[in-house]
Amino acid sequence: MDWFPWYPALYRADTLDLTLEQDGAYRRLIDHYMETRLPLPDNNNALARIIGISINDFEAIAEQVRCKFNAKGDSLHSKRCDIELNRQDSLSRKRSNVAKAAHDKRNNGKDLQASAKQKPSNSSDTGQDRTGHNKEKNNDLFSNFPEFWSLCTKKVGKANAEKAYLKALKTVSHETIIKGFKVALRSWEGTDRQYIPNPATWLNGGGWDDEYSADAESGQLEKTPEFVGTHPDSERNVWIHRIKMFRKNGSWLGQYGPNPDEPDCEAPKDLLK
């Protein structure tokens, strides 16, 4: 894996207890975890080699670093890494299905073209401009994009969103996109803006197929104002709202990490009492 999403605020909150040396070692282990897509070996010698330090140096910081992982059998697991890897696997499967559908559509199109070659074309007799017809068809499809864009609360990358929208229409209907996006919007209510995907990202990822809480599906999520600003209390307010919504209706996105009922929840500990 050459790239994976990084959440600085969550990482900083989880590593405030580490020294600079411990933090650097922990980060190298996280990178290795994501690059190999595998849990770490539960072995100090192996961990020292991954980090690139001597066994003596690692053993001096081992306790503080190892406590960030969960030991299972002969491996060390990171719940946050596992959540992200599972999300990527799910997205890859969806994209594979989309690619297969596009492949089948292309092949079907070739069959239709072959059949058309065997039949005389009436386009010259009618004076019909096929190129103009295709442009008109694309314009008809694109005429519904403003409805999607008007729903976006994070209006960034409009040109990319337009391309992603037209691409999505090759496999699903405009109604399916709108219905799925409205459910997603309800699930994002109260979410820090930086964690809401850009419109193009949501479209390219087939977001209409994502699974949300029952309340998001039914439209019963409580609408609350966004928390803004750079003061540390802003981040705390976001966690307060997330926990409130979880206690009220079970709404919790995978990007938040473990939920408040799980031992490794990344919210401030005093808010979980």
* Helix (H), strand (E), coil (C) string for 60-88: HHHHHHHCCCEEECCEEECHHHHHHHHHH
Residues sharing a CB contact under 8 Å with residue 85, sequence separation 6 or more, in sequence order: 34, 37
d(CA 254, CA 21): 29
Tell which of 49, 82, 115 closes a domain. Answer: 82
Tens of pLDDT along 110-139? 555 665 566 555 544 444 455 555 555 555
Least confident of 96-100, 113-117, 135-139, 154-158: 135-139
Q: Is residue 145, in this structure, part of any structural domain at all?
A: yes
Confidence bin at 266 (pLDDT 50/70/90):
confident
Within a domain: residue 110? no
Same domain (yes/no): 266, 169: yes
Tokens of 12: 């900083």
The last residue of a domain, from among 41, 60, 82: 82
Q: Which residues contact 142 (CB under 8 A, 6 or more apart)?
A: 162, 165, 166
> Residue 32 falls within a domain, yes or no?
yes
Rounded average pLDDT over 155-179: 90
Confidence (pTM):
0.39
Residue with the bigger pLDDT between 46 and 195: it is: 46
Q: How far is CA 158 from CA 42, 147, 163, 201, in A?
A: 47, 13, 9, 11
- Please identify which residue in the block is written with the tokens 């292309």: 106
- What gap in Å lies between CA 12 and CA 18, rounded to an integer? 10
* Shared domain check, 170 and 73: no
Yes or no: say if 62 and 54 are a contact pair by the CB < 8 Å rule.
Answer: no
180 and 57 both lie in a single domain: no
Return the percentage of the chain with pLDDT > 70, whole number: 75
Q: Please count the structural domains in the chain.
A: 2
Same domain, 164 and 252: yes
Q: Are residues 251 and 147 in the same domain?
A: yes
pLDDT over 50 at 159, yes or no: yes
Residue 218 has pLDDT above 60, yes or no: no
Q: Within a domain: residue 251?
A: yes
Q: Same domain for 72 and 154?
A: no
Pair (145, 262) in one structural domain: yes
- What per-residue confidence (pLDDT) applies to 193? 73
- Residue at 44 is within a domain: yes
Specify whether 252 is located in the same domain as 137.
yes
What is the structure's pLDDT at 46?
A: 94
- In this structure, the answer to whether residues 138 and 263 fall within a common structural domain is yes
Residue whose pair of structure tokens reads 């999520």 in the numeric block: 221
What's the pLDDT score for residue 136? 54
CB 271 within 8 A of CB 240: yes
137 plus 267 within the same structural domain? yes
Domain of residue 141 covers 133-271
Of 82, 117, 146, which residue is a domain's last?
Answer: 82
pLDDT tens figures, 57-73: 999 999 999 999 999 99
Per-residue pLDDT at 99 exceeds 50: yes
Is residue 248, in this structure, part of any structural domain at all? yes
Please check whether residues 156 and 264 belong to one and the same domain: yes
Residues 139 and 263 in one domain: yes
Better-scored residue on pLDDT, 155 or 128: 155
What's the Cα-to-Cα distance from 142 to each of 45, 58, 95, 197, rounded to whole Å?
A: 58, 58, 22, 22
Q: Is residue 107 part of a domain?
A: no
What is the structure's pLDDT at 19?
Answer: 94
Q: How far out from the chain centre does Cα 97 lie? A: 17
The answer to whether residue 184 is domain-embedded is: yes
